[in-house]
Amino acid sequence: MTATRVLVLNSGSSSVKYQLLDMRDSGRLAMGLVERIGEGTSRLKHTALTTGETRETIGPIADHAAALKAVAEELTKDGLGLDSPELAAIGHRVVHGGQQFTAPTVIDETVLAEIERLIPVAPLHNPANLIGIRTAQALRPDLPQVAVFDTAFHTTMPESAARYAIDVKTADEYRIRRYGFHGTSHAYVSRATAELLGRAPEDVNVIVLHLGNGASASAVRGGRCVDTSMGLTPLEGLVMGTRSGDVDPAVIFHLMRVGGMSTDEIDTLLNKKSGLIGLCGDNDMREIRRRVDEGDEQARLAFDIYIHRLKKYIGAYYAVLGRVDAIAFTAGVGENAAPVREAAVAGLEELGLAVDADLNAARGDGPRLVSPEGARVAVAVVPTDEELEIATQTYALVGASHDLI
């Protein structure tokens, strides 16, 4: 039997998203999400697309290993268990791959050691990714496990964009540079945007705005990333759900010297208690918009700061690219929050940027244009699909060799 299925695991700091796909037609067989891992009331939502059935389980799931075992049990109930001979590989999202990993990679002990070495620069993400890999290896030791790195797409950035202006010797010793993240999404969305325009990716310059709980922008010239807003870690750049994005680094010295705060306290402050939640107590854009519409001043200011930063990056990447064919909004906020898209391009008509109010307000599933007809720069909503991209890259790497077995 030819093995054509790929299981994709996207392990976040407190969640696991997963999809099982059949790569003959890239169709989804099952998908789901485990949320609030390690909290009292974890939630597993599983959908078998083969039957259309959805099951939801609420109850404690102590850690990522327990979460993956619960996922494996759900798949087994639908006859899609991990013991299936049709499974060709398991693909894992790995957030930090440093400079070394520029492409999807079959995981061995050396790769695992490198992912582990990078934990200090992705403390929220790489540990969860490692547990996902080790648990999957224990369940199917015979299968190829593939790492698809968030950082890989950004390794094409020129040194002028990737380097910080700090002492070269120190930077090299500690490998301090801009790595960038969400690369799988930036790659998928920039390609899908070119397709939406009916043009080859090589001919198109796109600014991709990945606005989820974590958020990042990238400048993509002819299919290659030339700049991105996240840096050494996923803390830099845009205002996010709980992360500050850009701050003057001296804020940290000030909090240490004057505020008496420890390194860990400042790390937690900037990664978990800042961004939208730090500014107004909510990190969900739906709730923030509801409060703005009710006249809540604090939510209004949080929204305005979020938009101001976004607009600065649009302007910066416009300048980096010189010519922009499209701006693509993606991820939870980018795909769903029409007021964010409208506000982000408001006043940029001189740059050829605008949204059509009706198109922008309309809902839709697939990629779509929201700019007025004939606009110089296309403004698009392009749903991301990191799991499909990971499955495609995983199968491209191992599918062909597996067929020979």
Q: Is 390 in the site for ligand ADP (CB under 6 A)?
A: no
Q: Is residue 148 marked as binding? A: no
Q: Assess whether 150 carries a catalytic annotation.
A: yes
Is 179 or 329 the residue whose CB approaches ligand ADP more closely? 329
Q: Point out which span in 103-111, 206-214, 225-233, 357-365 binds ligand ADP (CB under 6 A).
A: 206-214
Each as own residue / partner, the long-range contacts of residues 358-366 (CB below 8 Å, 24 or more positions apart, any chain) are: none
Tell me the Cα Rg of the chain: 21
Residues sharing a CB contact under 8 Å with residue 213, sequence separation 6 or more, in sequence order: 240, 241, 242, 283, 332
Residue of the chain from 241, 275, 367, 399 that contacts ligand ADP (CB under 6 A): 241
Query: Which of helix, strand or coil describes residue 292?
Result: helix
Q: Point out which span in 22-30, 38-46, 187-195, 209-217 binds ligand UVW (CB under 6 A).
A: 209-217
User: In which element (H, E) is residue 338 found?
Assistant: helix 338-345
Q: Is 336 in the site for ligand ADP (CB under 6 A)?
A: yes
Q: Is 132 in the site for ligand ADP (CB under 6 A)?
A: no
User: CA 142 to CA 148: how far, in whole Å?
Assistant: 19
Which residue's CB atom is positioned nearest to Mg ion? Answer: 212
Angle at 122 between CA 119 and CA 124, to 5 degrees: 100
* Closest separation in Å from C-beta 212 to Mg ion: 4
User: CA 96 to CA 118: how far, in whole Å?
Assistant: 7
Q: Is residue 402 marked as binding? A: no
Amino acid code (one letter) for 83: D
Residue of the chain from 38, 81, 127, 332 that contacts ligand ADP (CB under 6 A): 332
* Closest separation in Å from C-beta 31 to ligand ADP: 13
Amino acid code (one letter) for 21: L
User: CA 149 to CA 168: how far, in whole Å?
Assistant: 26
* Closest separation in Å from C-beta 332 to ligand ADP: 2
Q: Point out which span in 113-121, 192-200, 246-254, 332-340 binds ligand ADP (CB under 6 A).
A: 332-340
Residues sharing a CB contact under 8 Å with residue 164, sequence separation 6 or more, in sequence order: 171, 176, 177, 178, 231
Is 5 or 154 the residue whose CB approaches ligand UVW more closely? 154
Size of the site for Mg ion (CB under 5 A): 1
**DSSP string of 24-93?**
TTTEEEEEEEEESTTSSSEEEEEEETTTTEEEEEEE---SHHHHHHHHHHHHHHTT--TT-TTEEEEEEE
Residue of the chain from 32, 212, 231, 245 that contacts ligand ADP (CB under 6 A): 212
Q: Is residue 284 marked as binding? A: yes
Which residue's CB atom is positioned nearest to ligand ADP? Answer: 332
Annotated catalytic residue: which of 150, 227, 282, 385? 150
Is 13 or 393 the residue whose CB approaches ligand ADP more closely? 13
User: CA 156 to CA 225: how far, in whole Å?
Assistant: 6
Footprint of ligand ADP on 73-92 (CB under 6 A):
none
User: CA 291 to CA 369: how far, in whole Å?
Assistant: 28
Size of the site for ligand ADP (CB under 6 A): 13
Q: Point out which span in 106-114, 208-216, 363-371, 375-383 binds ligand ADP (CB under 6 A).
A: 208-216
* Interface mask toward Mg ion for 200-239; x: CB under 5 A: ------------x---------------------------
Residues sharing a CB contact under 8 Å with residue 382, sequence separation 6 or more, in sequence order: 189, 192, 193, 196, 328, 329, 330, 367
Is 81 or 98 the residue whose CB approaches ligand UVW more closely? 98
Query: Which of helix, strand or coil describes residue 228?
Result: strand
Residue 192, contacted partner among ligand ADP, ligand UVW, Mg ion, none, CB below 5-8 A by kind = none
The position carrying tokens 């894992």 is 92
Interface contacts to Mg ion, rule CB under 5 A: 212
Interface contacts to ligand UVW, rule CB under 6 A: 12, 95, 125, 150, 181-182, 212-214, 234
Interface contacts to ligand ADP, rule CB under 6 A: 212-214, 241, 283-286, 331-333, 336-337
Which positions make up the binding site for ATP?
Answer: 17, 210-214, 284-286, 332-336
Active site members: 150
